[in-house]
Chains A and B, each alone.
Chain A
Amino acid sequence: DGGITQSPKYLFRKEGQNVTLSCEQNLNHDAMYWYRQDPGQGLRLIYYSQIVNDFQKGDIAEGYSVSREKKESFPLTVTSAQKNPTAFYLCASSTGRISGANVLTFGAGSRLTVL
């Protein structure tokens, strides 16, 4: 079945460490996204990518980095510069050109906890 796989599902990190969250899709979607979800809040966009080797900052990109070396993969690195990284991270994808009409397909998320 086609879908988005995020790993790990749960991750614990010590302060000062970088961690990388994996996102892989087999939907042949062109665009991929990373969102952050905090308790009682909506999702906020971190980064998005329309094509391989190209990505754009979202609303809360500070302290995060991404790469898009393959169409299927869009890993997110949470760096030590991110001051409050404890959150639920969701990866998503959509077909075709990025526009406001895009319907997003989401992965099951990764929960990051900083100890």
Chain B
Amino acid sequence: AQKVTQAQTEISVVEKEDVTLDCVYETRDTTYYLFWYKQPPSGELVFLIRRNSFDEQNEISGRYSWNFQKSTSSFNFTITASQVVDSAVYFCALSESQGAQKLVFGQGTRLTINP
């Protein structure tokens, strides 16, 4: 069965600090997709990144970077030089490649950036 664990329930840092959100996943599939979504206070989830299981290249997008390591089944998310606008709940999610939609979400990490 698929499972996603975000062990950090809440994180609070001061603006401009770097912060890493952890995500550990379990799956028996060799082909799968990993996602990160951001949920700001307004409620809607916003897509940040998708990574397939065959692409272990790390990705950087501005202040955001993602570290995918199949050896440890982790897909961690780092925000560099955090800003107050980064405050949100962040979800990591896993999906099998075949068949119907089976997106499994982690519990989410509430990130608070203090000025």
By a beta-carbon cutoff of 8 Å, the part of chain A in contact with chain B is: 4, 31, 33, 40-45, 48, 56, 88, 90, 92, 98-109
Contacts and interface: CB of A to CB of B under 8 A. Distances in A.
Given A98-B101, A104-B47, 10 more contacts: A4-B44, A43-B91, A90-B44, A90-B45, A100-B33, A100-B95, A101-B95, A106-B44, A108-B44, A109-B44
A41 B107 contact: yes
A42 to B, nearest CB: 3
A90 B45 CA distance: 9
A103 B103 contact: no
A45 B97 contact: no
Given A42-B108, A43-B91, A102 B97 contact: no
B103 to A, nearest CB: 7
Interface in B9-25: 9
A51 to B, nearest CB: 13
Contacts of B32: 100
B44 A107 contact: yes
B68 interface: no
Interface of B: 4, 9, 32-33, 35, 37, 42-47, 50, 52, 91, 93, 95-108
A104 B102 CA distance: 12
Q: Which of B37, B99, B105 has the most CB of A within 10 A?
A: B105
B98 A100 contact: yes
A33 B100 CA distance: 12
A88 B101 contact: no
Contacts of B33: 100-101
Contacts of A102: 95, 101, 103
Nearest to A102: B101
Contacts of B45: 43, 90, 92, 104, 106
Contacts of B98: 99-100
Contacts of A40: 9, 107-108
Q: Which of A90, A98, A100, A103 has the most CB of B within 10 A?
A: A100
Contacts of A103: 35, 47, 50
A65 to B, nearest CB: 19
A102 B101 CA distance: 8
